[in-house]
């Protein structure tokens, strides 16, 4: 039951943010000049400085308590996030200061700004009204 509530909350948040999203900012899918590559994964996707699992330890903005504990897992051009057994898989495009998320089978693309504060990844979802995540690498 708790998993169902969490899943519904994440879907509600995604729907809310989609409805609130104003201008649709397109990012080219082949903008490889902006991708920080150090290596490639086994599926030939570029490895970025975000690769790995990042857990939200502190959140600010709407529904902040619900986001704490969510894990974002980057692997090349793949990104999934969720809590526990629930994972929302999709694809991503990473630049020096932004990344996107487009869920598998969905046309909506969410954009995020990010920066590092020491070992903490600080992420702000664009057009979210100030939703900020402070993440640590697992």
Domains of the chain: 2-19+34-137 (2.40.128.280)
Give dist(CA 3, CA 9) in Å, integer.
Answer: 10
Average per-residue pLDDT for the chain: 78
Residue 80 has pLDDT above 80, yes or no: yes
pLDDT band at 12 (very low <50, low <70, confident <90, very high): very low
pLDDT of 14: 46
The beta strand positions in the chain, using DSSP E, are: 52-60, 71-75, 78-82, 88-91, 98-103, 110-117, 120-125, 132-137
The tens digit of pLDDT for each residue in 15-51 reads 333 334 444 444 444 444 444 444 444 555 667 899 9
d(CA 24, CA 44): 29
Arithmetic mean of pLDDT, 75-92: 96
Which pLDDT score, from 0 to 100, does residue 18 have? 38
Could you count the other beta carbons within 10 Å of the beta carbon of residue 11? 11
Residue 83 pLDDT > 50, yes or no? Answer: yes
Report the pLDDT averaged over residues 54-60.
97
pLDDT for 36: 42
Position with higher pLDDT, 116 vs 17: 116
pLDDT of residue 45: 60
Q: What percent of the chain has pLDDT over 90?
A: 59
């Amino acid at each position: 039951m708790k998993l169902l509530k969490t899943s519904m909350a994440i879907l509600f948040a995604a729907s809310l943010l989609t409805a609130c999203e104003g201008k649709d900012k397109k990012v080219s899918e082949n903008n490889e000049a902006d991708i920080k590559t150090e290596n490639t994964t086994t599926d030939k996707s570029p490895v970025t400085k975000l690769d790995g699992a990042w857990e939200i330890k502190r959140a600010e903005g709407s529904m902040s308590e619900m986001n704490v504990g969510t894990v974002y897992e980057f692997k090349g051009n793949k990104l999934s996030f969720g809590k526990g057994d629930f994972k929302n898989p999709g694809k991503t495009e990473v630049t020096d200061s932004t990344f996107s998320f487009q869920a598998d089978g969905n046309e909506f693309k969410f954009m995020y700004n990010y920066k590092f504060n020491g070992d903490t990844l600080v992420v702000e979802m664009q057009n979210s009204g100030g939703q900020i995540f402070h993440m640590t690498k697992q």
